[in-house]
A and B are shown apart, each in its own frame.
Chain A
Amino acid sequence: MRNFILRRLLQTVPMLLLASLIIFMLFAKTPGDFIDGNITLTAARAAELKAIYGLDQPLFTRYLHWLGQLLRGDLGFSLQYQIPVSQLLNQYIWNSFLLASVALVFYWGIGLAVGIASALKPNSLFDHLVSVAVFAAMSFPTFFLCLLLIKWFAVDLHWLPVGGMTNTGSDDSGLAWMMQVAAHLVLPVMALVMLQAGSLTRYFRASMLDVVKMDFIRTARAKGLRERTVIFKHALRNALLPIITLLGFELPGLFSGAIITEKVFNWPGAGHIHIDSLAARDYPVLMGFTLFLAVLTILGNLLADVLYAWADPRIRVRS
């Protein structure tokens, strides 16, 4: 097992290097740079600024410079925020992480419960109702759903805040602060859960149904085991195997921010800085953030593989 993990870790090094090259080239080759977008500059001033930021250097020099920074653990300096990229990300990604992880717990919980329940009685009334609800929730445009929730719960009923993460001007700390954040979390989490639970429910349901049809389940039933034991002990574990991979892919999503949901609810997350940086061609942020997500994706994959190996002994044996 240790060898397996070590080997997988080593494999990530060239992968990361390749990712950094692709990311750099992708952004550096996008037409327009940080200075180009500013129409108030005279040509002379624009040239001066490009020299200060090193944007007049050849591509390869810029890449090596960036790579050198990365190896020193330095993500660079944001052009438009004028602070180190790591500090900038630190200001926002934890908020995204909080929102996404709370939502994740809910939609995985709901997805699992509903998926199992409808697999227990396929084609029952409950199963059909779930299907309809799932498709209804999935087909809502995100921003529309968000605005609808705001209209109902914040504007009409005054139950919950319209947006933000805390009350404006509040100096609360400790428990009072946590209560405020919790209240502000309700609506965006609700929106995310409604949008995400649907597809996950479908996935779990399908996975469960596949397993339930298998021979060993039939054998278990034939042995006279109780249905509960069959489902939860034999079927569920096998149905969860492909889902582990899915969980691995969720990792970068936890930090990258649900852009529209965060935007509509004024949630101070990472999604909007990514968009902003793209609009302003703030290369250090774009490259740093994208690389961070690439690392998370690779890590998520690694984690999924390890978990998979742990759950399914056949993989360990083969490796």
Chain B
Amino acid sequence: MARLLNRLTTTPTHFTLALKIALLSSVVAFSGAAFADEPLKEGITPATDASQVPAAAKLRKDTVVAGISEPQGIFNPYFFVNGWDENVTNVIFSRLIDWDSHGKLVPGLAESWTVSPDNKVYTIKLRPNLTFSDGSPLTAEDVAFTLTVLYDPKYDGDTDITLANIAGGAEYKAGKADSVSGLKVIDPLTLQVTTTQPGATTLSKIGGPVLSKAYYGKDYQRGNLDYLRTLHGKPLGNGPYVYEKYIPGQEIRFHANTHFYRGTPPTPRFIYRVTNPSTNFQLFQTGETDYDAFTSRPDDIEQLKLLGFANINLYGSSDYSQVEFNVRRPALQDVKVRQALIYGLDRQKLIDVVYQGYGKVAIEPIAPISWAYNADGVNPYKFDPTQAKRLLDEAGWKPGPDGIRVKDGKRLELTLLASKKVLNDALIPIAKENWQQIGVLLKPQVVDFNALMAQRKSGNYDLASFSTSTLNDPHDGVWDFYSTEAKESGYNNPQVDKLINDGNAVLDIEKRKPIYHQLYTVLAEDPPVIFLGYRQILSASSARVTGFKPDIYNGLTGSLPNVKIVK
């Protein structure tokens, strides 16, 4: 996911710019004042004129086409590397436990589950009569096999199952046991998972997609997963659609799964077509795609509205952008300096410039769409250069001859690591100017993303700007601030550690809410990062199809079982 996000946010501005110039003539000519300056509301804005659906799209009687950026062909939900392949596997594989649009866990293949009073033992009940798309039965054995593979010493995928703390997992990985003792198949429909410590994210880790043991486990031996690679291009799943064909760099084809547990999807065929940000609008406009994601910027939205046949959907993302402090640096060890840097940065201006009305200043490590978001009483750090200067004075940094503050003979100069992307293009000049006014000299270093991460790891930085990946649980947004995990930044706050532990130790959302609220308040007082912004995502579907209602937790694939072609 990290890589996907990096790519999403580094959408080349040149292309968008050129697109605009190329289309400017038509837009200027035909857009009256009718649409101007009316910001789009979150949710679906229906098409105004369905008769405008392009002829090319109408020709497809039984197929829906959605755009995808760069699938790589690893169609196994536990082995893909980039998020685009995740989008593909989500079509083919259903999860045991799903998320609703606010990030709460809801039944998927699992009908229900119970958790022991000490929050360590999970009993998961499958729906009856589940099958894979080839008609073979899906049982608790398959789930146990899936989780076992994740504990294989050679497993190199992105899922870190050790965070689920299943009993006996470490022993299996080390070769001391022949199976994972915490996985117990009670009967074909019931799996009992015993963990060594409670964890709020455990259930979502256990409740992922299910691999068929008969298909993926035929040749399985511990320590040998190479054979699995040959199956990456021949997935067998249980999702709404069945994988048919992948033409590298062009398209991926699927047909409806007649064994899908929620009933055969109404549209017989589904295709992901490879598009890119520079021409996905034209492909949608000419009817070659029925669905795609676009940049949530006023100009792009105007153009979509002008098409008439676009159902436009605007929804919140669950990631956030941030600038991390390297707390090991003497100047930044002082909490007052960190606070001053936040007060002294006009984040509202930054967000306005970058998202042009379709983003929000971030104040805590969770997006507003989550159940855990609660801004009450959390210091919003409204832009206040006077306050920033006062804090720097208090910290002992006095203005030097050239206006840059000095303490013990050292000037307040800070390096900022940033990768090339739209957000940073705006952040660098704004921060430079803002901080200059409070007496801080900013020295930006623009490098590519991997280089940024490598340099951050070496500890050779003061500030680093990067966005998080998509976050499903509030724990995903804060684990990085835990003293043993924050190796790069050196952030260490025992109270934060305790609250992170507490928030992850209970499963009841109502009990977790106050813990996270308190945690966010503490993080605001002793900030590990400058929270920058939350963004909104824009997608559009053709009026010729109904049922697309994506959100950040389920993506477009959550809608697939309901997508219908309008007759």
Contacts and interface: CB of A to CB of B under 8 A. Distances in A.
B271 A168 contact: yes
A141 B469 CA distance: 33
28 contacts: A31-B447, A31-B454, A32-B451, A32-B453, A33-B454, A36-B450, A37-B2, A45-B162, A53-B156, A80-B82, A81-B72, A81-B81, A82-B73, A92-B248, A92-B249, A141-B18, A144-B18, A144-B21, A147-B22, A150-B279, A155-B282, A161-B288, A169-B253, A265-B279, A266-B279, A268-B250, A280-B82, A281-B450
A236 interface: no
Given A52-B156, A143-B278, 10 more contacts: A32-B454, A42-B479, A81-B73, A81-B81, A154-B282, A164-B251, A165-B249, A166-B247, A264-B276, A280-B3
B60 interface: yes
Interface string B245-288: 00111110100000000000000010101111011001101101
B1 interface: yes
Interface of A: 30-33, 36-45, 49, 52-53, 79-83, 91-92, 95, 141, 143-144, 147-148, 150-151, 154-155, 158, 161-166, 168-169, 263-269, 272, 276, 279-281
Contacts of A95: 249
A74 B361 CA distance: 50
Nearest to A84: B229
B158 interface: yes
A186 to B, nearest CB: 15
A264 B72 contact: no
Most chain-A Cβ atoms within 10 A of its Cβ — which of B450, B455, B469, B485?
B450
B47 interface: no
A280 B448 CA distance: 10
Interface of B: 1-3, 6-7, 14-15, 18-19, 21-23, 60, 63, 65, 70, 72-74, 79, 81-82, 154, 156, 158, 160, 162-163, 229, 232-233, 247-251, 253, 269, 271, 273-276, 278-279, 282-283, 285-286, 288-289, 447-455, 457, 466, 468-469, 476, 479, 485, 487
B18 A151 contact: no
Given A37-B450, A81-B74, A268 B22 contact: no
A41 B7 CA distance: 18
A264 B160 contact: no
A36 B454 contact: yes
Contacts, number: 173
A29 B207 CA distance: 40
Nearest to B449: A37
Given A143-B14, A154-B286, A264 B279 contact: yes
B283 A162 contact: yes
Given A39-B466, A53-B156, A155-B285, A166 B250 contact: yes
A43 B445 CA distance: 25
A52 B273 CA distance: 33
B381 to A, nearest CB: 24
Contacts of A265: 279
A169 B65 contact: yes
B247 to A, nearest CB: 8
Contacts of A269: 249
B170 to A, nearest CB: 11
Contacts of B79: 82
A267 B21 CA distance: 23
A165 B274 CA distance: 11
A43 B485 contact: yes
B485 A169 contact: no
A169 B60 contact: yes
Contacts of A41: 158, 160
A37 to B, nearest CB: 4
A52 to B, nearest CB: 5
Nearest to A264: B278
B248 A164 contact: no
Contacts of B466: 39
A71 to B, nearest CB: 22
B469 A52 contact: no
A267 B156 CA distance: 31
Given A147-B22, A266-B276, A272-B70, A32 B450 contact: yes
Contact of A91 (B14, B158, B248, B286): B248
A80 B275 contact: no
A91 B71 CA distance: 13
B258 to A, nearest CB: 20
Contacts of A264: 15, 276, 278-279
B478 to A, nearest CB: 13
A31 B271 contact: no
Most chain-A Cβ atoms within 10 A of its Cβ — which of B72, B154, B286, B485?
B72
A42 B163 contact: yes
A31 B158 contact: no
A144 B286 CA distance: 19
Given A38-B2, A92-B248, A144-B21, A268 B449 contact: no
Nearest to B487: A43
A279 B18 contact: no
Contacts of B2: 37-40
5 tightest A-B contacts by CB? Answer: A268-B249, A32-B450, A32-B454, A31-B451, A31-B454
A215 to B, nearest CB: 50
A283 to B, nearest CB: 11
A169 B282 contact: no
A41 to B, nearest CB: 7
Nearest to A39: B2
A39 B330 CA distance: 25
B81 A82 contact: yes
B172 to A, nearest CB: 14
Most chain-A Cβ atoms within 10 A of its Cβ — which of B1, B3, B447?
B3
A155 B81 contact: no
Contacts of A53: 156
A108 B128 CA distance: 67
B145 to A, nearest CB: 20
Contacts of A268: 247-250, 274
Contacts of A154: 282, 286
A7 B42 CA distance: 70
A241 B23 CA distance: 45
A247 to B, nearest CB: 28
A103 B285 CA distance: 28
Contacts of A80: 72, 81-82
A280 B81 contact: yes
B151 to A, nearest CB: 12
Contacts of B288: 161-162, 164, 168
Contacts of A141: 18
A279 B1 CA distance: 14
A65 B422 CA distance: 40
A91 B451 contact: no
A109 to B, nearest CB: 28
Contacts of A44: 162
A163 B67 CA distance: 12
A91 B269 contact: no
Contact of B453 (A36, A83, A143): A36
A148 B7 CA distance: 25
Contacts of B229: 82-83
